[in-house]
Structure 1
Amino acid sequence: MAGLEGKTIGKYRIIERLGRGGMATVYKAYHPSLDRYVAIKMLHGYLAEGENFLERFEQEAQSVATLRHHNIVQVFDFDNDGENYYMVMEFVSGGTLKAKMTHKSGNGGVFSVEESIRIINQIAEALDYAHKKGMIHRDIKPSNVLINEEGEILLTDFGIARILSKGGTQLTATGALIGTPAYMPPEQGRGEKEITPASDIYSLGIIFYELLTGHVPFDADTPMAIIHKHIHSPLPIPHDFQPEFPTPLEKVLLKSLAKDPEDRYQSAREMINAIEKAFSKGEENLSEQTRLSMPKIQETRISAEKPHYTQPVRVSEPPKEQLKSAGKRKVARVFGWGIVGVLFLVGIVIFTWILNYVGVLNFGGFDCATVKECEVQAYILRDQGDLREAKDYLAKAIGMVPEQEHPSHAELWCRMGEMSIALDELDQAVSDFSHCFAWTEDDPGLGWLRKEAGDQLQELNR
């Protein structure tokens, strides 16, 4: 959907492209009669292939347009131009929370407790309002959290995942696009149909964890491996690698990130109250705890403890013999635990091999079977920064496209070229855009894509 800049769609004149994801491309546009800028989210064309998509799109867009909350991006309009379905929303110029987090981590810092709570509480206020209206987001992540010029938090993309989760689109068939692996709750990763507000609470908890620690709790080489960790791996406790982490807030994280939805907070309001209680209850203690190191805390606790013996301790052997005996027992214990450890590792290797063999686990990546599955997986990997593997999936997709489908070939080669540029593989980018350009030659309707490829080639050949 590149190359729309300067064109008019409905009542809106396209100004520039703001971004592109696995589900849609977002543009900044101008509405002349109202004299205001708006954001237009255009869904990718292939998503409309599902049964009754138009009906589902209109129903969900109408529901989203009724949401009126100062922490939710307002939807003004929705329509289609015969080929593309789009939503028109208020334009927020301050950028995304993801961009702010990336900048913060790039400078080696993390968000303060106070700022993290301020951000999370505003997102939770939006969720509490939407959940009471019967709307579950399903894709809470930092890139769906916008920040306006006043520093206020606004949640966007309500309804998009819900539109796509109904009907027979490739999206639902693969499970790849409903949610984002790094922020996906276990039940969503398992493909369960029953999604509740607790699912959004889990994703919100992941963002809270990331704000406070500087990284998400679960990461892996492939999206499927990340999802597997959400389902099966225990949560890494912040206190284990950050001793000064505030204990009251750690309890909030543990509850919001429980594997079982019933063990989490059952509403965003409940989570807000828990956060405020944890912070206000120990505001002085939190600051004191931040100043103390873990060893000092442990030392203080040990010195404060009193023995609880009711009678003298009897020593049955002389000290030297006792030491010698203790040494033997220690060697025996170390040797015994060593054997246990080796057997445990061998068991893990065998168990993992069996799971891979039967197809339960596939740490080698998602095995796409159709063009759309491969394309969807490529965009997920691209958004996560794994451009090389994303290109591999695009290559698989290109290999599956029938020769007569020129638009698909052209679009995929142009996207391949963008990734090659991002990887600084400029010679490969020239080849990719040349392929894109060639596939547009016999199709007048692909003039916009032909222009994109031509512009890129001209820039690369300077």
Structure 2
Amino acid sequence: MERPVAVKTVAADLLALPDWRRTALARFEREAKAAARLDHANITAVYDAAITEDVCCLVMQLVDGTTLDNVIDCADDGRLSVLAAVSVAAQLSSGLSAAHAAGLVHRDLKPQNIMVDTSGLVKILDFCLVKVLSDTDPQLTITGETLGNVAYASPALLGGEKSLDGRSDLYAVGCLLHHMLTGRPPFHGEGPAELVTQHLTAPPPRLTDCGVDVPAGVQDLAHALLAKRPEDRPGSAADVYEALAPYLPAPAPAFATRRMPPEDPQRPFLVPHGPVMPR
């Protein structure tokens, strides 16, 4: 169709290991079918897949933009403004609400798995570690495997709990919101073991203790998202979006005919459905 796409493949060295091959192929097929069911502006679309003896690839939407870690690094002092951070978190919550409604948990949300396209739209990437909530096949769980990035992983994920729900992703959103506003994840240590221990036992730092001036509602939400127990977090991604809504930038139609900076996470809220401006 002469459309640029992104193609993701299962690593050849992984497939070469007999003990891993069946599990990897099963997980890959599960990802393709699960991701293809998702249809949301904040999630990359899956177009096609091929699973054979020689080729295992997933054909996806190619996002023209940059990853969230680059957006943060390019910001002043490595911190996003409250409006920008809230805008990103709201878009993440919107996309996750669709995934969770479909019975999927991402389990690997981190700045490198989130893109901001040139219109400012946030896209969640890489559902390769997605958990199908209704899936009870123990053969798809690999003993000792570490899923997700430790800096943004929930206590339940790090603790190896088998029954994860969407609130595990909401913990990651809390870590990301803290990172965007302070310039670093909420927990940091000398190594992975220390970092895991902090996620499991240390009380989450408050944004105000990190020298960040934020509205009380944003502070309370960020702190609630980082609760150790899932039941102490917001109940759903939709609840997170609702809590963020009062702090989103008001739509500004006057900007619709003005060229805006690329990778601007506020643009979808400043110019809802605004036209794509010439480069």
Shorter-chain TM-score above 0.5:
yes
Aligned to 1:91: 62
Aligned to 2:46: 75
What are the superposed Cα offsets for residues 18-41 of structure 1, whole Å, 9 maximum, x if unpaired? xxxxxxxxxxxxxxxx11111111
Aligned to 1:293: none
Amino acid at match of 2:49: F
Instruction: Using the TM superposition, give the Cα deviation of residue 82 of structure 1 relative to its aligned residue in structure 2, in angstroms.
Output: 2.8
| Identity score, percent | 30
The structure whose Rg is larger is 1
Aligned to 1:435: none
- SS of equivalent residue, structure 2 residue 195: helix
The higher-RCO structure (CA 8 Å, 6+ apart) is 2
Cα pair 1:137 1:158 within 8 Å, conserved: yes
Structure 2's unaligned 5+ residue stretches are: 249-279
What are the superposed Cα offsets for residues 152-205 of structure 1, whole Å, 9 maximum, x if unpaired? 111111243448x96557x832232x1100000001000000101100000011
Segment drifting more, 50-59 vs 78-87: 50-59
TM (normalized to structure 1)? Answer: 0.49
CA distance in 1, matches of 2:57, 2:220: 41
- SS of equivalent residue, structure 1 residue 174: coil
Confirm whether residue 172 of structure 1 aligns to residue 120 of structure 2.
Answer: no
CA distance in 1, matches of 2:52, 2:61: 20
CA distance in 2, matches of 1:182, 1:62: 28
Q: Identify the match of residue 213 of structure 2 among 238, 244, 248.
A: 244
What are the superposed Cα offsets for residues 95-135 of structure 1, whole Å, 9 maximum, x if unpaired? 1111111222xx52411111111111111100001111111
Cα pair 2:182 2:210 within 8 Å, conserved: no
CA distance in 2, matches of 1:172, 1:242: 41
> Which one has the bigger helix percentage?
1
Query: CA RMSD, aligned part only?
Result: 2.2
What are the superposed Cα offsets for residues 318-344 of structure 1, whole Å, 9 maximum, x if unpaired? xxxxxxxxxxxxxxxxxxxxxxxxxxx
Q: Identify the match of residue 272 of structure 1 among 241, 248, 253.
A: 241
CA distance in 2, matches of 1:222, 1:166: 33
Instruction: Using the TM superposition, give the Cα deviation of residue 50 of structure 1 relative to its aligned residue in structure 2, in angstroms.
Output: 4.8
CA distance in 2, matches of 1:166, 1:47: 21
Amino acid at match of 1:44: A
Aligned to 1:45: 12
Structure 1's unaligned 5+ residue stretches are: 1-33, 281-462
Cα pair 2:88 2:122 within 8 Å, conserved: yes
- SS of equivalent residue, structure 1 residue 36: coil
Aligned to 1:29: none
What are the superposed Cα offsets for residues 64-120 of structure 1, whole Å, 9 maximum, x if unpaired? 11211111100111114534522110111211111111222xx52411111111111
Confirm whether residue 124 of structure 1 aligns to residue 93 of structure 2.
Answer: yes
- SS of equivalent residue, structure 2 residue 143: helix
CA distance in 2, matches of 1:149, 1:100: 11
CA distance in 1, matches of 2:31, 2:43: 16
